[in-house]
């Protein structure tokens, strides 16, 4: 009985075995025959991997062809987490420990660096890895070649770890220039950018870098080139077992800028020196030395808006961005205590222009209700409404012409004009559609709107007109009305109460302050340079340009970056000539005269205007704006003291160097730029990689003279021939 | 050849040697023998192909693993022949010894001698060799339970049904190695052991209530284990990835996905031995041990992998017949145990390669690389041949059965 039972059950077992194995065979048939195509495609995908061949980024050279930004080889250690995770916990730990020892880092730090952005414990962007977690993650950059060789040779000790040579930015820094604010920096592409760029069919990859500021950003599409791809057959550990197709990378193109390294270096040095001097100068008003927290210098070609130099203080070392910036460095760049070095004061700093604004007021006045023959009283003070507005140091000069008023920088002269214009245009009526003559004139000079420079991040500044006052009041009335209800008779509380009631009014005080570049009107040093450039060139407002041309890797011209006209001043040539002559006098008999003794003004006639702008709660901003027919030089130092006193000497030094002035002699041969003018042609790029400066045509007119030069570029013969 | 020489060592065989030499040769079960040898040959080729290009494993000698595998087979075959030729009484005497060896081995694994590989403490490292006692324990449990139940059945003169305490005692024999295996933990072996025990009890005639109760109990225990997090994280992940490999394509689902891609890449006729792109690039982990079937799938295609399934089916079909024909309860139960063990382990192994079973690390018997598994499997084959020889002989010499039955009653 038991036997037959067990025999029966054996049959059941047998049936089960058969059914299980039939199932296996059915499944095998299903995978291999029914859905075989799909698995064969997956197998193909598995074994072939694309290896990116990064393109070297294009050079950035100055007007003479001196490299400002080049490339160098940097050894990068990467970790492939995908491979590492498959090794099991013990091996993984051992590999990371070994690697950390080699790198001289704690193991936890190496592990942290393998995390992608957004993961717990990952470093902050842009330090963290932005790419896919299945791509090798860089954990150490700029390691020694010896270390790289160790990792490459002992692959069995370092599974999933690789060392590769990458091209990173190098800064040859000719003549010691920094120019970080012009050049900008790069950082790895973000996931969003990558998706967007891929959507447009642009040649990007997760390891691409993108220009983030300066010309690196604005000319990124020329500089970046296109990376190549090598298709390789790989095994399960990602080791290459066979090579397939290959697309060569397309190197980035070269950007020729109009910057001259020599002038840039000088501008940076002089800015630095003046700031150091100012910090040792005592300020009578505040009773302490000048802070001189920041400053800038702009040197521009007045004939076409091309920038020759643009310095900003404080600077930063662009190398901090190379191979990924550290958290500490990044914090410092944005830190207010360190003076926010990332900010380019020349185009991102907003300052009241002070007296350098007076030529603008003068141009508007002369274009509307005044004649060049008019004189106005330069009294020691002027009462406007209930307030007394004083002249600088309460000086009184009696009746002055516009020219004299500009040279001596008389405030009350311009107060009178502003007060009269304000009354004429309807006083403090709330009508924001009223066109105030002086405000409209300032707008025509380009203030309150961006200059259109080919660098990202420029700010527009603002003109404190009726419309602005109303919007400012609307935005802040709640705060001030609340403040006004508190007890207190100090300035702030009194101001708050007044502001709460009718802070929107464009008062006479606002109008007179505006006329001398004080109050709430702020602008960038670059905007001032463009405006003075228009005074120099007969009324054309040029969009400032840093880029001059794009040249491909073979040295052929790809694209010429033409100067562009942003607008024309609505000022007659006669008035412009009058203002031009008036500003010539500043250096001879005006506020700059004490700094220009012995300068050969007859050979290099410098027109200039100084400015000492008062800033609420801070020390005065020092300004000097100057030009001749070739260049505009603007210098500004925040909390730096008086215009001529702090910046005058440096501005003179820059002019001297631009023309090769030695004492009273002008030696054009010693000028920083050959012929004392920006080169019209482009550098020649030779097949062997060397670069020679643009040809200098002795016959071309020297910028120092009064010979008028047209805008636009003369044809640079050398390069045109090459291009053909 | 070697067979006759060894048979000569047995006293019983020596008695029949002179007169029945040719018939002994004929009494060998050729279906079992040939399908076993065929699986060994195919397995050797697959192990060779899977490891030849893997320098990290072989250290540059492309036939290093083939050679080790052949040595394992040689040792295993010797063990099989010895067992096949041994008098079955001796087999019954040695069964408790095999069982004890398995338990001692499992205990050693948990001692400091044991080594952790792939998250399980399943190995003893002895002089550069790694031994997996769980493989012997399966054989030991089969032999041990078969012995106990056979003794009891013979004691009851094979008349009445199995009693409950006998079932409990049999379960107790299985429980010791099972507990030690769970402690490692080795879920795959545990699963195979459970199915084997169930099959063995069933063939032994255990009441249906017991069988249903055991299955229900196992399901409940498994549910509780998951509920209370007794299972390790990776074990749970493997099961989840089995249900949905896309859950974690680079982690737990990686093996499953890669295994299926490799097999799918084989098509009907395969890529050819040593020519499978996935196999040679090593995309499937453990492809010479647990995932050796993927090598067959890719390189030999439906034809080759199907042949392996067919060989197993032939082997097991024949094994069931051997068990059924055995009048001796020990032989029948041991045979049934081996069938359940091989059948389920082969299904589990190939099933996980094909993605119809969760990934648990059990080798494919007779095919996968690995000495312990090879020895245990071939010893089991030897046991089957022994049972077959015994029943063949008993057909001719019925008196021996009665004689042995009479003697065993005296125990």
DSSP single-letter state for residue A712: S
pLDDT tens, A370-392? 999 999 999 999 988 788 888 88
Mutate to test the interface with A, among B159, B202, B277 (most CBs of A within 10 A): B277
B306 touches chain A (CB under 8 A): yes
Of residues B406 and A103, more confidence is placed in A103
Mean pLDDT within A631-655: 93
Burial readout A153-164 (b: 16 or more C-beta within 10 A, e: otherwise)? eeeeebbbbbbb
pLDDT at B406 over 50: no
pLDDT tens, A535-581? 999 999 999 999 999 999 888 999 999 999 999 999 999 999 999 99
Of residues B85 and B158, more confidence is placed in B85
* CA–CA separation, A609 and A357 (whole Å): 9
pLDDT at B70 over 80: yes
Mean pLDDT within B54-67: 81
A 56-95 near B (Cβ less than 8 A): 82, 85-86, 88
* CA–CA separation, A532 and A540 (whole Å): 10
Nearest CA in chain B to A43: B261
Global confidence as pTM? 0.66
pLDDT given for residue A716 in this prediction: 34
pLDDT given for residue B120 in this prediction: 65
Mean pLDDT within A259-274: 95
What are residue A301's DSSP bridge partners?
A631
ipTM: 0.89
pLDDT band at residue B280 under the 50/70/90 scheme? confident
For residue A383, the SS3 value is strand
How do the residues of chain A divide into helix, strand and coil, expressed in percent and rounded to 5?
40, 20, 40
Mean pLDDT within A646-664: 93
For residue A274, the SS3 value is helix
Q: What is the average pLDDT value for chain A, to the nearest integer? A: 86
Of A7, A40, A86, the CB nearest to B324: A7
pLDDT given for residue A712 in this prediction: 37
Residue that the structure tokens 């008999």 belong to? A589
pLDDT given for residue A118 in this prediction: 66
Of residues A499 and A1, more confidence is placed in A499
Least confident among A78-87, A262-271, A401-410, B5-14: B5-14
B338 touches chain A (CB under 8 A): no
pLDDT given for residue B8 in this prediction: 41
B255 contact partners, CB below 8 Å, separation of at least 6: B284, B285, B286, B291, B359
B265, A43: Cβ pair inside 8 Å? yes
pLDDT given for residue A705 in this prediction: 40
pLDDT tens, B191-200? 999 999 999 9
pLDDT given for residue B409 in this prediction: 44
pLDDT given for residue B6 in this prediction: 42
Mean pLDDT within A393-411: 90
pLDDT at A601 over 70: yes
Of residues A115 and A598, more confidence is placed in A598
pLDDT band at residue A704 under the 50/70/90 scheme? very low
pLDDT band at residue B19 under the 50/70/90 scheme? very low
A237 touches chain B (CB under 8 A): yes
pLDDT at A14 over 90: yes
pLDDT given for residue A329 in this prediction: 84
Mean pLDDT within B227-239: 70
Residue among A557, A548, A523 at smallest CA distance from A684: A557
pLDDT band at residue A449 under the 50/70/90 scheme? very high
Mutate to test the interface with A, among B261, B295, B321 (most CBs of A within 10 A): B261
pLDDT at B407 over 50: no
A 141-160 near B (Cβ less than 8 A): 156
Of residues A503 and B380, more confidence is placed in B380
A43, B202: Cβ pair inside 8 Å? no
B160 touches chain A (CB under 8 A): yes
pLDDT at B129 over 80: no
Structural domains in chain A, CATH included, are: 49-257 (3.90.1310.10), 261-465+506-670 (3.40.710.10), 467-505 (no CATH)
B203, A9: Cβ pair inside 8 Å? yes
For residue A320, the SS3 value is helix
A24, B281: Cβ pair inside 8 Å? no
B268 touches chain A (CB under 8 A): yes
pLDDT given for residue A132 in this prediction: 59
B281 touches chain A (CB under 8 A): yes
B345 to each of A587, B28, B338, how far by Cα in Å? 101, 25, 10
Angstroms from B266 CA to nearest CA on chain A: 6
A51 to each of A626, A672, B200, B278, how far by Cα in Å? 55, 47, 56, 19
B313, A134: Cβ pair inside 8 Å? no
pLDDT tens, B80-110? 999 998 887 888 888 899 899 889 989 888 8
A18 contact residues in B (CB cutoff 8 A): 313, 317
* CA–CA separation, A518 and B168 (whole Å): 102
Mean pLDDT within A23-47: 89
Mean pLDDT within A79-104: 82
pLDDT tens, B309-323? 999 999 999 999 999
pLDDT given for residue B398 in this prediction: 40
Least confident among B20-34, B204-218, B373-387: B20-34
pLDDT band at residue A483 under the 50/70/90 scheme? confident
pLDDT given for residue A456 in this prediction: 93
Residue among A531, A542, A510, A529 at smallest CA distance from A444: A531
For A203-211, the CB contacts below 8 A with 24+ separation are: A203/A227, A203/A250, A205/A52, A205/A54, A206/A130, A206/A131, A206/A132, A206/A135, A207/A52, A207/A54, A207/A131, A207/A135, A208/A54, A209/A57, A210/A186, A211/A184, A211/A185, A211/A186
pLDDT given for residue A307 in this prediction: 96
A–B CB contacts, 8 A cutoff, strictly below = 160
Mutate to test the interface with B, among A1, A43, A158 (most CBs of B within 10 A): A43
pLDDT at B3 over 50: no
């Amino acid at each position: 009985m038991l036997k037959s039972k067990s025999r029966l059950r054996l049959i059941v077992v047998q049936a089960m075995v058969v059914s299980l194995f039939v199932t296996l065979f059915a499944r095998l048939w299903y995978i291999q025959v029914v859905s075989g195509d799909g698995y064969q495609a997956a197998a193909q995908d598995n074994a072939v991997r694309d290896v990116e061949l990064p393109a070297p980024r294009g050079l950035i050279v100055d007007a003479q062809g001196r490299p400002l930004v080049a490339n160098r080889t940097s050894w990068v250690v990467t970790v492939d987490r995908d491979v590492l995770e498959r090794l099991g916990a013990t091996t993984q730990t051992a590999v990371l420990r070994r690697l950390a020892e080699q790198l001289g880092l704690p193991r936890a730090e190496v592990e942290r660096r393998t995390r992608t952005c957004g993961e717990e414990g990952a470093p902050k962007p842009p330090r963290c890895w932005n790419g896919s977690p299945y791509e090798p993650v860089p954990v150490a950059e700029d390691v020694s070649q010896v270390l790289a060789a160790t990792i490459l040779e002992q692959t069995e000790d370092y599974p999933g770890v690789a060392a590769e040579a990458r091209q990173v930015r190098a800064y040859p820094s000719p003549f010691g220039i920094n120019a970080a604010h012009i050049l900008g920096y790069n950082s790895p592409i973000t996931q969003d950018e990558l998706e967007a760029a891929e959507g447009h069919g642009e040649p990007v990859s997760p390891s691409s870098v993108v220009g983030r500021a300066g010309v690196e950003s604005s000319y990124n599409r020329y500089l970046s080139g296109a990376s190549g791809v090598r298709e390789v057959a790989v095994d399960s550990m990602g080791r290459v077992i066979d090579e397939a197709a290959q697309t060569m990378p397309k190197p980035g193109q070269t950007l020729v800028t109009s910057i001259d390294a020599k002038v840039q270096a000088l501008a940076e040095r002089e800015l630095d020196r003046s700031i150091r001097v100012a910090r040792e100068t005592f300020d009578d008003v505040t009773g302490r030395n000048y802070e001189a927290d920041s400053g800038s210098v702009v040197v521009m070609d007045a004939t076409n808006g091309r920038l020759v130099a643009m310095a900003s203080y404080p600077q930063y070392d662009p190398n901090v961005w190379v191979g990924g910036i550290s958290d500490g460095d990044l914090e410092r760049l944005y830190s207010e205590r360190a003076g926010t070095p990332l900010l380019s004061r020349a185009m991102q700093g907003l300052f009241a222009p002070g007296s350098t604004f007076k030529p603008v007021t003068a141009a508007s006045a002369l274009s509307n209700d005044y004649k060049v023959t008019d004189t106005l009283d330069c009294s020691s003070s002027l009462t406007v409404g209930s307030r007394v507005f004083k002249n600088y140091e309460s000086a009184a000069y009696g009746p002055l012409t516009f020219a004299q008023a500009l040279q001596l920088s008389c405030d009350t002269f311009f107060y009178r004009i502003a007060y009269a214009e304000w009354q004429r245009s309807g006083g403090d009526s709330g009508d924001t559609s009223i066109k105030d003559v002086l405000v409209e004139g300032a707008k025509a000079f380009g203030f309150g709107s961006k200059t259109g420079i080919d660098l990202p991040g420029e700010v527009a500044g603002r003109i404190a007109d009726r419309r602005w006052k109303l919007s400012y009041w609307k935005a802040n009335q709640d705060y001030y009305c609340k403040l006004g209800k508190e007890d207190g008779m100090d300035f702030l509380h009194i101001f708050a109460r007044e502001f709460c009631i009718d802070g929107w009014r464009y008062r006479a005080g606002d109008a007179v302050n505006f006329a001398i570049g004080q109050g709430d009107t702020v602008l960038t040093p670059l905007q001032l340079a463009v405006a003075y450039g228009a005074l120099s060139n007969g009324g054309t407002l040029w969009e400032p340009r840093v880029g001059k041309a794009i040249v491909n890797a073979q040295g052929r011209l790809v694209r010429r970056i033409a100067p562009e006209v942003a607008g024309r001043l609505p000022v007659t040539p006669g008035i412009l000539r009058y203002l031009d002559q008036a500003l010539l006098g500043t250096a001879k008999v005006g506020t700059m005269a004490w700094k220009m003794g012995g300068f050969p003004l007859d050979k290099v006639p410098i027109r200039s205007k100084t400015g000492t702008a008062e800033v609420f709660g801070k020390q005065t901003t020092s300004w000097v704006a100057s030009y001749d027919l070739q260049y505009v030089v603007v210098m500004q130092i925040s909390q730096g003291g008086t215009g001529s006193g702090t910046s005058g000497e440096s501005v003179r030094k820059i002019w001297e160097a631009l023309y090769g002035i030695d004492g009273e002699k002008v030696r054009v041969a010693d000028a920083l730029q050959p012929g004392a003018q920006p080169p019209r042609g482009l550098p020649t790029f030779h097949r062997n990689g060397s670069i020679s400066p643009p040809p200098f045509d002795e016959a071309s007119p020297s910028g120092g003279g009064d010979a008028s030069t047209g805008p636009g570029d003369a044809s640079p013969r050398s390069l045109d021939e090459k291009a053909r | 050849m070697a067979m006759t020489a060894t048979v000569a060592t047995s006293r019983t065989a020596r008695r029949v040697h002179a007169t029945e030499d040719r018939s002994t040769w004929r009494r060998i079960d050729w279906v079992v023998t040939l399908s076993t040898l065929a699986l060994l040959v195919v397995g050797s080729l697959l192990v060779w192909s899977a490891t030849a290009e893997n320098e990290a494993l072989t250290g540059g000698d492309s036939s290093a693993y083939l050679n080790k595998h052949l040595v394992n087979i040689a040792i295993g075959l010797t063990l099989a022949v010895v067992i096949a030729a041994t008098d079955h009484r001796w087999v019954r005497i040695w069964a408790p010894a095999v069982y004890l060896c398995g338990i001692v081995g499992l205990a050693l694994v948990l001692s400091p001698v044991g080594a952790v590989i792939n998250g399980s403490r399943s190995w003893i490292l002895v002089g550069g060799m790694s031994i997996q006692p769980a493989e012997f324990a399966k054989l030991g449990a089969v032999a041990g339970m078969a012995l106990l139940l056979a003794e009891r059945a013979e004691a009851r003169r094979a008349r009445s049904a199995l009693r409950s305490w006998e079932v409990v005692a049999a379960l107790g024999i299985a429980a010791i190695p099972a507990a030690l295996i769970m402690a490692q933990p080795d879920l795959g072996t545990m699963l195979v052991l459970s199915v084997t025990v169930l099959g063995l009890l069933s063939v032994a005639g255990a009441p249906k209530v017991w069988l249903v109760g055991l299955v229900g109990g196992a399901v409940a225990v498994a549910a509780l284990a998951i509920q209370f997090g007794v299972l390790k994280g990776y074990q749970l992940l493997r099961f989840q990835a089995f249900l949905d490999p896309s859950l974690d394509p680079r982690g737990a689902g990686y093996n499953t996905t890669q295994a299926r891609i490799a097999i799918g890449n084989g098509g009907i006729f395969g890529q050819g031995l040593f020519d499978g792109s996935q196999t040679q690039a090593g995309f499937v982990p453990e492809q010479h041990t647990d995932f050796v079937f993927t090598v067959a799938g890719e390189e030999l295609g439906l034809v080759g992998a199907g042949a392996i399934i067919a060989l197993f089916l032939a082997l097991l079909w024949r094994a069931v017949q051997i068990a059924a024909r055995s009048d001796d309860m020990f032989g029948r139960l041991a045979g049934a145990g081996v069938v359940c063990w091989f059948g389920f382990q082969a299904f589990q192994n190939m099933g996980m390669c094909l993605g119809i079973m969760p990934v648990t690390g059990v080798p494919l018997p007779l095919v996968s690389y690995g000495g312990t598994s090879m020895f245990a499997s071939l010893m089991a084959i030897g046991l089957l041949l022994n049972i077959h020889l015994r029943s063949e002989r008993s057909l001719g010499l019925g008196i021996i059965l009665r004689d042995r039955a009479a003697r065993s009653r005296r125990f």
